[in-house]
Amino acid sequence: MNSRGFVLFAAALALSLGQAAAQETHSGPVSVAIGLEGQHMVVLPGDKFEAAPVGDKSKLILRVQDVFPHGNAHRYDLRYFGFVPGEYDLIQFLRTADGKTPTNLPPVRVTIHGILPEDHDGMLIEDDDSGLNLPGSYTDWLIGLGVVWLLVAWPLFFAGRSKGQALGQAEEDAGPDLAERLRPLVEQAAAGTLDTEGRARLERMIFSHWREQLGLPEQGDPAELHRQLRQHKDAGPLVRGLEDWLHRPPGTAAVDIAALLEPYRKSSLPK
């Protein structure tokens, strides 16, 4: 073989090897279901390619997982998944470094197939007609139920509330007020028959009565409230008199308790 013959033989061998390399991993179109990722290893001659940018309307997405040197070519690990069934050429989803679609390369075909049978009518859930078939729409029924609730439940609610109020009022009316609770204690004190427990209750109730009468705050300083009561022109004499009667050592204070409590024996308490 002369030198010219050797060059022709080498060129033919290189071309046949390149073709063989490009085709060795895609001897037939690979089929992958929609939404599943497919993989394809392929050796492509020339510079290194990149994946094409993905657009809103892309039917298939390709990414280059890895690239390995392969002599003067590169071995590509391509990963893809499709959105629309059909046959695609992965070469069309590659770009050269300057953003152009590669030319003069054999197609690398893959197939994306659907999950549903081809004759499927597109209904994913069968419509079950066995439910309750009521006249009117769902909205109509909701409005109707709301009206029923207003007509029935609302009056019931008000009836219960006014009944509760009436009960509370009745209980309030039935219980003795401060004057009624105070009067027997005052009577017993005037008669000198009130025991220690009763005296303590009497003093606390008198404080309570005057605190309410004078509008003194319940959350105020109790000692200060007490000082104010002791100095008040109406409450003062009674509070100080009670103190003398109840707290001084026996025999050191002469208090006419009957006269002191006389205003509290009437049906209405002094104001």
What is the rounded CA–CA span in Å between residue 215 and residue 213?
6
133 contacts: CB under 8 Å, gap ≥ 6: none
DSSP 32-89: EETTS-EEEEEEE-SSPPEEPPP-TT-SEEEEEEEEEEETTEEEEEEEEEESS-EEEE
Nearer to another protein, 51 or 228 (CB): 228
Residue 244 DSSP SS3: helix
Nearer to another protein, 224 or 256 (CB): 224
Minimum distance, C-beta of residue 184 to another protein, in the bound complex (Å): 13
Is residue 42 within 8 A of residue 15, CB to CB? The reply is no
Residue 31 DSSP SS3: strand
255 belongs to the binding site for another protein (CB under 8 A):
no
Nearer to another protein, 43 or 189 (CB): 189
Minimum distance, C-beta of residue 140 to another protein, in the bound complex (Å): 45
Nearer to another protein, 50 or 244 (CB): 244
199 belongs to the binding site for another protein (CB under 8 A):
yes
211 belongs to the binding site for another protein (CB under 8 A):
yes
Minimum distance, C-beta of residue 35 to another protein, in the bound complex (Å): 51
x/- contact string, 213-252, with another protein (CB under 8 A)?
Answer: -----xxx-xx-xxx--x------------x--xxxx---
193 belongs to the binding site for another protein (CB under 8 A):
no
Written as six digits, the tokens of 116 are 């549903």
Q: Torsion over CA of 14, 19, 20 and 24, rounded to 10 degrees?
A: 150
DSSP 152: H
Nearer to another protein, 40 or 209 (CB): 209
Answer for which of 111, 203, 213, 232 binds another protein (CB under 8 A) is: 203
Note the residues at the interface with another protein (CB under 8 A). 178, 196-197, 199-205, 207-209, 211, 218-220, 222-223, 225-227, 230, 243, 246-249
